[in-house]
Amino acid sequence: MKIKAWVLVLVILHCISLANSVYGMEPVGGIRDVDGSKNSFGGTSDVDGSKNSCGGIIDVDEHNKNSLEIQNLARFAVDEHNKKQNSLLEFNGVLKARQQVVAGLMYYITLEATDGGKKNKYEAKIWVKAWENFKELQEFKPVGDETANASS
């Protein structure tokens, strides 16, 4: 039970940190939109006007998309897929990365890999619980192929 309580505390602290660092939070009165208008408690508007709430999937910025952590997670996804599917994909790079606060972090990474000399795009979903030294490939599928079976 203590671990569940700590996970909840970590999720709440991450959400507060996200709100403070990304959107700016007033000491009293809630969060304000980019235009200065008040927003509801349920979330904050992003610069493009879309709603973003704690626990939602957010884009990893361009600088962090190329971080060693994201690159290593993408390589991990390709390696795990190769093991599970007995394939020989070669990792080329990260195209897009998003993350979501869950019991840890869920990463949604769009990557490019070479399969038999042909470059293809893939989507990988990786669950990370850093405090447990845990990471798991949840899904791995070609981009645009809805009928492809995802590896779990």
pLDDT range class, residue 145, cuts 50, 70, 90? low
Q: Radius of gyration (Cα) for the chain, nearest Å?
A: 18
CB 49, CB 37: distance < 8 Å: no
Average pLDDT in the chain: 75
Q: Count of alpha carbons within 13 Å of 95, Cβ hemisphere only?
A: 13
Q: What is the pLDDT of residue 90?
A: 96
- Is residue 48 within 8 Å of 58, Cβ to Cβ? no
23 has a pLDDT exceeding 60:
no
Across the range 108-136, mean pLDDT stands at: 95
Q: Does the pLDDT of residue 91 top 80, yes or no? A: yes
Segment 76-91 shows an average pLDDT of 96
Pair 26, 32: CB distance under 8 Å:
yes
> Is residue 123 predicted with pLDDT exceeding 90?
yes
